[in-house]
Structures are given as C-alpha cells and as structure tokens.
Chains A and B, each alone.
Chain A
Amino acid sequence: MSVLDTPNPRRAESAGQRETAEQGKRPASTRRAPRGGSRSSPLDRTGTGTRIVILVVLVLALLWTLVPLVWMVLSSFKPATAITSAEPSWSFTPTGEHYAGLFTGGNELIPYLWHSVAAAGLSAVLSVVLGAPAGYGLARSEMRGKRHLSFWIISTRMAPIAAVVLPLFLMFRQVGLIDTIPGLVLAYMTFNLPFAIWLLSSFFSDLPPALEESALVEGCTRWQAFRHVALPLTKPGLVTTFVLCLVFAWNDYAFALVFSGPDSQTLPIAASQLVTQAGIDWGQLCAIGTFVVVPMMLAGLAVRRWLVTGLTLGAVTGE
C-alpha cells in the first residue's frame, strides 16, 4: 500500500501479474503505456530552454556523483607515483599491484573478507528467516495493541547506533561476545531484524488475503497457506529485504569499530586501518574501496524495482 492518494497500478497489478509472469513476461512497453501516452499530450512537449536546463542539471549531477567513484577505481589501478602526483594524471600504465598488495605481505585481506561475508550474510539470512513469519503474522494479525507493537518495531530500527552500541558493549563483554562473529551478527540483528519484520509485513499486507483464504478452503492449514501461497508470491519482497539487510550490515562501521577485534574485523575496518600515523596507502585504500563497494552496488541495482518500497519501509511504492 502506498501513501499516495492515487491508486498505484504497478502494485495492484503485481500480485496477480506474478502468476502470469511465468507464462511469458508482459512486454515492458505495455506496462509503460500510460507514461508513453502522457508524453504525446501537448503539455509534455518540453521547450528547448527547459530541455537544456534539464540536460545541464543531469550532466552536473552525473559528474558530481560519478567522478569520485571513477577516480577511486582509476586510482586503484594507478602506480603509486601517479596517485600522489600534484597534477591529476589520467593516463598511466595500469597496475594490479595495489590489489595484489592487499593479499600479500603484511596485509592479508582474506580473513577480513570472510568476517564481512559471514557477519553480513548470516545476519541477513537470519533476519529474513525470522522476519518472514513475523512479518506475515503482523500483517494478518488483528490483535489489539498491534499498533503499539508496530511502533515498537519501527522505533528499534530507527534507534541511533551510538545509543545501541553502549549497552550492547557492556552486555557482550559480560558474556564474551566481543570479537566474535556471533557477536557481530547479533549486533547487526538489532537493526536488520526490525527492518525485515516491518518491510516484509508491508509486502505481505499488499497480498490480497483472498488467495490464502481460498487455500484454506481447499483444506490447507494456515501454515501451508503461508508457506505455499503467501511466501512464493512475496519472493521479490524477500529478495529485496535480504539484499538491503546485506547492504546495511556489510557497510556497517560503527558496530564493527566497537565489537570486533583481530578475530572478527570486517572490510570497512580494514579500510580504516590503512589510515595510520605514518601515512595512508591510497592505492590500497582505493583498491579496498572498490572491493567493498562494487558488490553492494550490483546487489542494490539488482533489486532496483523494489528499492523505493524497501528503503521507505513500504510507505511509498513505485518504480
């Protein structure tokens, strides 16, 4: 459901459309039809002046957005002298030395990588596995106090990290979870689990209950109706939730800074450790940055269609 006053065709369609999706994807053009139609109307004939302004804004925005990223990736392939030259150098002989340097010598990136994958991956999997039934329960529940429960869930998601880190640090110290992967996973669950519950409940409430009701009439138990009807229809929701949980945990620095040690440090920590009193190895930093950033960009763009729903916790739906 959307906060928009207008009905949202995409979303209304999506539940029913998913079944037809197997028989053949509806051509994108039919879905876009209304937008294409509106463009032919006279008011959309954008004047040349406006068009130039729009182009200029977009070019500036693209430069502002992409230059740092491109510069980072370029620098990760530059020889050290080209990186620290006073004049920015655009032509250079590419080298893989910084990437190689991350895995040899004093630096051994593999453990960091493994910690990142384990902590972020596990917390994302657990969040979805626990969040899916909980989100479904929340969506279909008619109990009193449901609003309070919802509010509690969202406020745990939004709690400032700094405020959560403090008590968790004492608790983890007490039970020996500092510098362990389970400790990090638990820490990430403090924001990923409420996120998953809330977001999945919003995906589930968009499913018409009639589908599950007819499954019940056919003799399914409620669990079977959830497992075999609701769950498959919410696949995009599950994937989106998983990806976003993964991104949040993978990108975390504040928790890892406090809870991790030599046995659990993650990639963002590895990146920040390249900043030393003696100076910064920018080549390696750019390499590590590329390493951290690229997988999450790919994952994020893979779920772009559901990104708005995901990032607004289901409050806005759309493209």
Chain B
Amino acid sequence: MNASEDVREPLKRRRNGAASRHVGFTGRMMLPGIVPLAALTVLPFLTIVVMSFSDVRLLGGMRLDFAGLKNWGRFFTDPDMGWFWLRTAGYFALTLGLEMVLGVVLALCVWRLVRGRNLVLSLLLLPMFVAPVIVGLLGRFLTDPTFGLYTWLLERIGYDGDLLGDTFTAFAAVVAMDVWEWTPLIALITLAGLSAVPPTLREAAALDGAGRWQTLRHIVLPSISNVLLVALLIRAMDAIRYFDIIWVTTNGGPANATKIVPVRLYETAFRFFDFGYAAVVGLAMLFASIVVARLFVRMLDRKGLAR
C-alpha cells in the first residue's frame, strides 16, 4: 500500500455518503453521554490503580507516596483476607441460591393464579423498592431482643437467643434480609419468562401424556432457562454492589461472622484509613464483577442480541 492510497482512503469514505454520515451522527449523539461517563469511570479507575501502589495520607494535605507492591503483597499473604472472600462466597451462594429457588417457586405459584394476580404480584414486589438501609434497620427492629416482633414469635416456638448477637443466627439473619428484599426480583423475571412459554408447547406435552411434574421439568423449566440465567447474573452483579444491610445491622460482627469483602473494604478505608490496601481489595472486587458482567454480555451475544 502506498502513501497516496492512504490519503485517498478517508476521502473516498467521506464521499460515499450515507454510511459515514451515519457513523458521524450516532457518534455525536453518544458524546454527551459517553464523555461524562468516561470522566466518571476512567479517572476513578486510574486513581484506584495508582492508590493500590501507594501509601495514601489524608491528614495535613492529601499525599500519595509510592509504596511499590506492598499493598498487593499484603493482599495475597493476609490469611484473614482469604476468610473474608470465603465468607463472601458463602454469603453469595446462600443468598443467590435461596433467592433463585424461592423466586422460581413463587413465580410458578403466581403464574397459576387466576384471580387477583396483579394485586398479589404488586404486593409481593414491594420489598424491592425499600432502601436497603431501611431493610437493615427494620430487621433490627423486628429482631430486637426485648420487643422485636420476630423475637416474640421465635420465643413462642422455643428460641430465645439474641438473633443478631450470635454468629450463626446473625449470618442467617442478614441472609434472610437480603432474601426478603430480592426474591421478588427473581420471581418477577421468572414470571416474565413463564408468560412467554407458548401454551401450545404445554398442550403438546400433555397430549403426549406428560404429567404435570414432567411438563414442568422437561418443558417449562428448559424453555425459561435463559431467563433464569439472566435473573441469576443480574442478581449476582447487584449482590456484589450492595452491602448496606450488613453495614447497618451487624456491621460485620459478631466476631466477623457477617464481614463480607465490601464491609471489610469500607472498614479498611473509612475506619482505619488504609486507602492503599482498600484500593487493592476494591480492584479485586471490580475484577470479580467484570467476570460476571462478561458472562452476561456473552450470553446476550450468543442469542444474537449484542448491541
């Protein structure tokens, strides 16, 4: 390829009208949104990378001193850190698992509902709109050892401990609060999937002599498997984001029982003011969420829905 062709190439493209003007227009449309977004994400990303290699001092004027791999080394050798990640994995597996199972069961029941379906669904959806911090505080109210409604109920059935004060029950309680808030989301998404299963498919199965359970297992569930996967990925991406409930209920305690990684990060940064180390933890979390986002996009791609 010689130089003159290089020069002519862009000209030709410019001259052949529609296509290039098209790109230009959509590009210009994107700018006002993309530029601020880039500023709001690329700059913080670069900052957090720099932070992870620095000692960050806040008092007496902010200063970043190069610290080499110190923070990273600590991250990979800190034995506590491993436990926090394991606990986080357990917390995610438990909340996501429960939410998926309960959400699907709930959706199947609502799906079968003939009358009052809209009302029931609307009522069931309410927890999703409750600010997580309120969910946490309300949870504390309900499980208050002296006058909590749920404490009282549990006493009727023979349990009289401090729910949020014991390591095992505290963990169960924060899981339950998360499940309370987000199961409706799974149910809602699943229901959308179920409503799109063509009735003819189920009729055909029935004609072939499939029982109710078989139809569900072999016809209905497989045809909504994609929707279920979307629900799982969406929930997984959000689960990495939120930690408000734990922060206002147990604050990671008792004895670190509910200290998942985001809580640990907050504590490291805003209680111990160790920003460098917190940045490393933050980058690790970012990496984890990008893996999930990647799966989500890959899945849309496979269905030919890449945008």
Contacts and interface: CB of A to CB of B under 8 A. Distances in A.
A1 B142 CA distance: 42
A250 interface: yes
Interface residues of A, number: 126
14 contacts: A1-B305, A43-B203, A51-B112, A61-B124, A83-B147, A166-B51, A166-B282, A193-B37, A197-B33, A254-B242, A301-B125, A304-B125, A311-B185, A315-B299
A143 B28 CA distance: 12
Interface of A: 1-6, 8, 34-35, 37-39, 41-43, 46, 50-51, 54, 57-58, 61-62, 64-69, 71-72, 75, 83-88, 130-131, 133-143, 146-147, 149-151, 153-156, 158-171, 173-174, 186, 189-191, 193-194, 196-197, 201-202, 205, 222-223, 226, 247, 250-254, 257-258, 267-268, 271-272, 275, 280, 282, 285-286, 289, 292-293, 296-297, 299-301, 304, 307-308, 311-313, 315-319
A163 B293 contact: no
Contacts of A141: 23, 26-27, 30
Chain A binding site: helix, strand, loop or mixed by DSSP?
helix
Contacts of B27: 137, 141, 143
B32 A133 contact: yes
A127 B259 CA distance: 33
Interface stretch (B4-12, B74-82, B167-175, B186-194): B186-194
Interface string B129-147: 1111110011111101011
Chain B binding site: helix, strand, loop or mixed by DSSP?
helix
A309 to B, nearest CB: 9
Nearest to A147: B306
Interface in B278-292: 278-279, 281-283, 285-286, 288-290, 292
A201 to B, nearest CB: 6
Contacts of A133: 29-30, 32-33
B101 interface: no
A179 B240 CA distance: 26
B307 to A, nearest CB: 5
Given A37-B199, A142-B22, A156-B37, A268 B133 contact: yes
A162 B240 CA distance: 9
Interface of B: 19, 22-23, 25-34, 36-37, 40-41, 43-45, 47-48, 51, 56, 58, 62, 105-106, 109-110, 112-114, 120-134, 137-142, 144, 146-147, 149, 152, 180, 184-185, 188-189, 191-193, 195-199, 202-203, 205-206, 212, 215, 223-224, 226-227, 230-231, 234, 237-238, 240-244, 247-248, 262, 265-266, 269-270, 275, 278-279, 281-283, 285-286, 288-290, 292-294, 296-297, 299-301, 303, 305-307
